[in-house]
Structure 1
């Protein structure tokens, strides 16, 4: 009998994404005509949807408000194949939102994140869901979680029987939430600006070295349209170029980083990273991100990493 694969458990942000694309360069202090689109987002939720659409069993651990946005967000997640049975719906609060103002070329001009609800995801909230985390094949958390909750997750991950832990950065402002001791973190995914904000240096190699000295096993630093750098078994850094996307093909950059993070998680969960190193999984992740920037959707609907041919125990 084939064993049931253990799920990926994603903890952190889940919100409504509002995307406003200006018709011409933004004029500060004036009314700017825009086209508008509303989808669902949040780093943890986006990673979960990317994985679910590739046939990976996924459970989302987050909180929403007892409002229309929260209900439709959860209904949509279930349609995507995400297990939402442990999501908490809280009274008297609004479901989180992320409003992106996009330039005419689809690049980000300004983003406004209302993520106060994530402050309710306390260490006590995490403790009540420790069973789901222990039963996971992989735990993924974004830095929307409070610092104390992230510290508790990292401490739990040092147990030899704990599943691998992946942390995904969300912004430069929230890098201060990263615990000082990171032993137990299998992978940290962040961009160059977030790394510089945490490490206090623009020297990429120095920043990565400081993260590894703090205890992180592997680091992937995204470099936008250029590609990414990842740590290697030999102790160095390897660069992979991103697939070329013509400027006229870029529709919306929202969600591209989350698609990339999901690709890396997919490689860890399937055992591809253990078998072949980081480069093949990073290449697939970059390809998924390239597809995402060419789509109006935050998550590309098709399966971008290939279907799982056999479960990973």
Structure 2
């Protein structure tokens, strides 16, 4: 069961991913030989591409610079099936970048995010796209958006006829951008560190309970290779294991969390979550993440490799 041709609208970061993987154990304070790869990224853009490659109509609302990187990013997104006609191109600005330094096993050692352009995505910018958001089947926003813009989105989502709103965390540092009242948020996706940063507690159940008290309807907490935990309609917390991926098969963890978030959004878009609850959709989403860590690409381009969609 789908919502027909109504689009998913993704708002937030769109940038270039630069990934460097060291050839030997990291030596801080010294030059480390590494291999390098450049792909397109940004949480909102990655979620959008994952959805588009599964046949979901999706529109991206973001900003890039009027530079070679911005032009290439928009061309690549359009080629993947994303509607990018409303992405703002800003003269004199550099397209955002995310530089990830990966350890020898493909795990993240450190990442540097240059996302200044997202500060241009103000409430006034959002107002220009209000009709697009209101007509969407689902609105997905990452926390690269300014706090004021997120507050407007959450307030609008609480209206009776508004489409469901999914928020996707991007870092512990940006958890402070969440408004205190989160009524209207259908789903919040974040990892354990981001939850602890927001809730000021390492107790997972307590942190999730605080999010629900703030108004979030459902929460998914990702736990890396351990899997995830999701809430139920009754407010219980259910934990699911991730598929086993041999260490030698891990190529690059970049984009795995975004693939998982896209799998969750797909379950909302198809209606699978409404019919079956979260568990089967979460299993599907974990499968997407497992495939992504085995690929050098931030988004796996071969949709046939994705596990069957749960109905």
Residues 48 and 116 of structure 1: CA distance in aligned 2, closer, same or farther (over 3 Å): same
Say yes or no: does 1:257 pair with 2:269.
no
Residue 6 (structure 2) aligns with:
6
Deviation at 1:307, TM superposition (A): 7.3
Residue 180 (structure 2) aligns with:
180
Q: Distance in 2 between matches of 1:27 and 1:307?
A: 43
Quick check: 2:3–2:269 contact (8 Å CA) kept in 1?
Answer: no
Quick check: 2:284–2:309 contact (8 Å CA) kept in 1?
Answer: no
Mapping for residues 1-313 of structure 1, pairs under 5 Å: 4-303=4-303, 304=306, 306=308
Quick check: 1:47–1:261 contact (8 Å CA) kept in 2?
Answer: yes
Residues 69 and 120 of structure 1: CA distance in aligned 2, closer, same or farther (over 3 Å): same
Q: Secondary structure of the residue that 2:238 maps to in structure 1?
A: strand
Quick check: 1:263–1:305 contact (8 Å CA) kept in 2?
Answer: no
Q: Distance in 1 between matches of 2:140 and 2:284?
A: 18
Deviation at 1:305, TM superposition (A): 5.5
Q: Distance in 2 between matches of 1:9 and 1:282?
A: 21
Q: Distance in 2 between matches of 1:175 and 1:139?
A: 19
Q: Secondary structure of the residue that 2:118 maps to in structure 1?
A: helix
Deviation track 1:8-41 (CA, whole Å, cap 9, x = no partner) reads 0000000000000000111112111110000000
Segments of structure 1 that go 5 or more residues without pairing to the other structure are none
Quick check: 1:54–1:306 contact (8 Å CA) kept in 2?
Answer: no
Q: Secondary structure of the residue that 1:242 maps to in structure 2?
A: coil
Q: Distance in 1 between matches of 2:91 and 2:79?
A: 24
Deviation at 1:3, TM superposition (A): 8.2
Deviation at 1:308, TM superposition (A): 11
- Give the structure-1-normalised TM-score: 0.96
Q: Secondary structure of the residue that 1:113 maps to in structure 2?
A: strand
Residues 3 and 152 of structure 1: CA distance in aligned 2, closer, same or farther (over 3 Å): closer
Segments of structure 2 that go 5 or more residues without pairing to the other structure are none
CA RMSD of aligned residues (A): 1.4
- Give the structure-2-normalised TM-score: 0.97
Moved over 6 A (4+): none
Deviation track 1:156-213 (CA, whole Å, cap 9, x = no partner) reads 1011111000000000000000110000000000000000000000000000000000
Quick check: 2:101–2:108 contact (8 Å CA) kept in 1?
Answer: yes
Deviation at 1:224, TM superposition (A): 0.5
Q: Distance in 2 between matches of 1:213 and 1:302?
A: 40
Q: Secondary structure of the residue that 1:173 maps to in structure 2?
A: coil
Quick check: 1:147–1:177 contact (8 Å CA) kept in 2?
Answer: yes
Q: Secondary structure of the residue that 1:16 maps to in structure 2?
A: strand
Q: Secondary structure of the residue that 2:86 maps to in structure 1?
A: coil
